[in-house]
Amino acid sequence: MPTDALTTDTLVSWHPEQVTAAVDGQVIVMGLIQGQYVGLDDIGSVLWTLLEQPQTVGHVCDQLAQQYRGDPDIIASDVLAFLEELRAIDLIQALDADRPAS
Amino acid sequence: MNQASVLSEKISGTGVFLPYHTQPDWLPRDMADAIVEYAIENESMFQAGRILQHGKLVIDESIRQVSTLTHMGPFQTALKDAAMASKPMLETLFGMPAFSASQVEIEMAAHGDGAHFQRHVDTFVVGHNRPNPRVLTLVLYLHRQPCGFTGGALRFHALGGTTTRDIAPEHNLLTAFPSSAPHSVQRLASPGGAFADRRFAVNMWIRR
């Protein structure tokens, strides 16, 4: 599984070892590998939903740019940083590039 | 953008409870009563409960004073079907993405006098079958009438806080929650110590 830094071309998806639930619209994810609970805010919850199926980071950025106003470059930068955080605690995984994206 | 934060660091005070659902009279009454009778008749089949410690299953009565039955005999299929029938509703209630179930694990636990189970989550078990974790936990409480014990509540623990919520283990009450929800079993008292007076709980775990 790729461990290089994420780019907008990287295919990412939920890590299989997590359990997702929602409380009053706030998504709470428990990572089963590190045993951490993570709460996501509104935008994070939207992003999380997008990752249920494998997506490129660029596609995720495009989806968020359509829903929220903002500089696309800043959105891409923020999304990449956020996804790196999620990957560091094993909530998402980067997939092989030849795996078909949805 | 900073959407993620470890809840224990972010939330102070009362914390946040993961969702849960309770449903009285979950099974037809005659079936619920029959399962209690089945358990009592099969006391010799129950084994001392084990817990996961340092990667191994061990018997530790200081933590879990309980015995378990790993197959529900003639009720196994009906219980599995009932659990699976509840799955779509629970996914919706808990804001959980719909998932394909690979397995429904079922065991019956019998808590006797003094029994309790410290705070834990159901996702960390031997035989984790990675990557097929327990996702949904359903617990059906059963006891004979009149009830032969006091206490034994299921206690939910808030994430990032010290608040708790207790569920009384009433006969034929279903309690369901994400398997990641922290919970414990409060100490119960059953002065006579008879097996028939135990707090029975059918634990059903739906795995991804």
Q: Which CA distances in Å does B15 have to A80, B121, B156, B157, B163? A: 29, 17, 12, 9, 7
| Residues of A at the B interface, defined by Cβ within 8 angstroms | 16-17, 19-23, 25-28, 30, 32, 35-41, 43-45, 47, 52, 75, 78-79, 81-82, 85-86
Over range B4-11, report the average pLDDT: 41
Give the count of Cβ contacts less than 8 A between chain A and B. Answer: 89
pLDDT of residue B193: 87
Cα B176 from Cα B136, distance rounded (Å): 7
pLDDT tens-digit series, residues A78-97: 999 999 999 999 999 999 75
Percent of chain A with pLDDT over 70: 91
Residue A1 clears pLDDT 80, i.e. is over it:
no
Residue B66 clears pLDDT 90, i.e. is over it:
no
Q: Mean pLDDT: which of A23-37, B51-65, B127-141 is highest?
A: A23-37
Residue A91 corresponds to which tokens in the numbers above? 């909530």
Q: Report CB contact under 8 Å: A32, B123.
A: yes
pLDDT tens-digit series, residues A29-69: 999 888 889 999 889 999 999 999 999 999 999 999 999 88
Q: Name the pLDDT band for B1 (thresholds 50, 70, 90).
A: very low
Residue B2 clears pLDDT 50, i.e. is over it:
no
Q: Report CB contact under 8 Å: A20, B121.
A: no
Residue A98 clears pLDDT 90, i.e. is over it:
no
Residue B4 clears pLDDT 60, i.e. is over it:
no
Q: Report CB contact under 8 Å: A20, B97.
A: yes
Residue B186 clears pLDDT 50, i.e. is over it:
yes
Residue B10 clears pLDDT 80, i.e. is over it:
no
Residue B129 clears pLDDT 90, i.e. is over it:
no
pTM: 0.86
**Residues of chain A found within 8 Å of residue B99, distances taken between Cβ atoms:** none
Q: Report CB contact under 8 Å: A37, B7.
A: yes
Question: B98 — contact with chain A (CB < 8 Å)?
Answer: no
pLDDT of residue B69: 95
pLDDT tens-digit series, residues B114-126: 998 889 899 876 5
- Beta-ladder partners of B69: B108
